[in-house]
Structure 1
Amino acid sequence: MLHRGQPGLGENDDMVAQSKARHMESMALNSVFDHFRQQIDDSNDRRERLIKTSRDVTNISKKAIFLLHRIILEDTDDDRGLRAAKKGRAKLAEVYPLFRSMRAELVGERFWQHQRQVSPGLQEFIEALSFAHYLEHNTLISFSETQTALCDEDGPFFPLTVSDYLLGLSDLTGELMRFAISNISRRGGRTTANEVCTFVRNCKADFELFTPQVRDLGKKQAVTGSSLEKIEAAAYAVMLRGSEFDLPPEILEDLVQQTTTRFSTGERDPDNPLY
């Protein structure tokens, strides 16, 4: 016998059904959130792995750049640029296992999701690669040549964006400034400095066209301008001092080299007109 206020059998069944429905909805909602949580965790773990790998790429690329500078300064042969480029590329080959490990992490849309984690190491690699290319060919490495360097027998490691390409090349101008100034005292160094100066000036002018479209390129253009000023100042100083003496260029270069060598060792030669 039912008492007043108690639900009937039909009403009780409805309440049970509603309770089950709410429970099922809760389970489905929890399942969806568990799926989202797993996706976020996977993305964060992937992000950390890519950051670490990108740092490793950066370190190897920097070592390759230091190697290129060291060989250029130590060697005196005319083909030292070719030899430096060959050894620099061999050092850069250490990067490829890292790029291969990144390939599986950057399939499809994942590359665009994690591009900012990949970009720093990639830009440093392009800087080192373009420096080796310049020492060998005295030209700027092209976009297609850079793409080829980012491939193996299985195809590209990941897409190469125009922004990463331009930002990496923009960093090259700083290395060219160091190359020009450190070699200006060597035989043929004044000619090299003038060639590098013209090259960097053209790079700055050409890159300026892309500044509105490429993020951070404006900041790097300011650094390029500073590097260009340093090259111009060094080349102008040597030319100005050289104009004070009526000497053949080859003799003047020997005097400049002797003077800079003595200054670096602390010696002085009063018989040298540049002293």
Structure 2
Amino acid sequence: MLVPDHDDDARWAAELAFEVSDIIGRGREKEEVTRLISGSNGALRVAAVWGMGGMGKSSLVRMVHNDPVLLDEFDCGAWVTVRHPLDIADVWFRRRLGKEMGLALDQNVQDYLRDKRYLVIVDDLLDTDEWENIWHVFPRDNCKGSRIIVTTRREDVARHCAGHAADGHGHVYELRPLGEAESMDLLCRKKLRYLETLDIQDTKVTRLPDGIANLRSYVIFLPCKCTRRNGEVKKLAHVGMVDVGQGNGVAGKLRKLTNLRRLGVTGFNEEEGQELWKSIGKLNRLQRLENALGFN
């Protein structure tokens, strides 16, 4: 198994614990990047994945590089995350690549790779100068079907890297943001350990994140369909502050939020207003009610 390059033991362990199931909504992208490097063609191929920071480039490439079927195609490989700032890039990269491949200090990396079919990931490349120094480490006369995957935030850097491969063997892949459905799925699977405020105003939202129970601060609902479902409201049992906006059918369900200390409401109708007061009577920990009811 190829392992990522990390100097820190904790980060190393985190990488080894990576699971494909941790990545949401990137199955299509994984297949597309895999196709870019698959095949037994003898020419060295470079695939450069680019996109904004935090988009999940490294995670996507890790999904690809952890695929056991793909790894069986290669004799050896390595994952090298580029250190920044990077001084004497070629020397550092040569030493790091050799270490990841398990070579002795006096063993020449280029000589070793010349007769191998290898897969090398160069993660988090910042500029073209870094690539120029790193590229010189790889042997030019390798025709074993070797592959290099680069990740970078810059399109120009990605195109520069891919341009070093022989004609037709350099590929640039842009990783785009998740779609609406995938983004909501991602939110719903997160534990929300560090989130302070969750503001749900989209009427299309029908499900609350499972980890919302960890949210101790503030949840805001305006016209949200998810408040109509008992199972979803129960997830808020430990939440301390809620603003339910115009109610939207949630007034009678607030009594289930036994830990509620602060409640905000704006403009319930008369029927929901009556349900609201019944719920408030059950909220023994409620300390503050912010309202502009104006029943109509």
| TM-score category, normalised to shorter length | under 0.3
User: If you compute each CA radius of gyration, which structure gives the higher value, 1 or 2?
Assistant: 1
TM-score, scaled to structure 2: 0.26
TM-score, scaled to structure 1: 0.27
Q: Which is strand-richer, 1 or 2?
A: 2
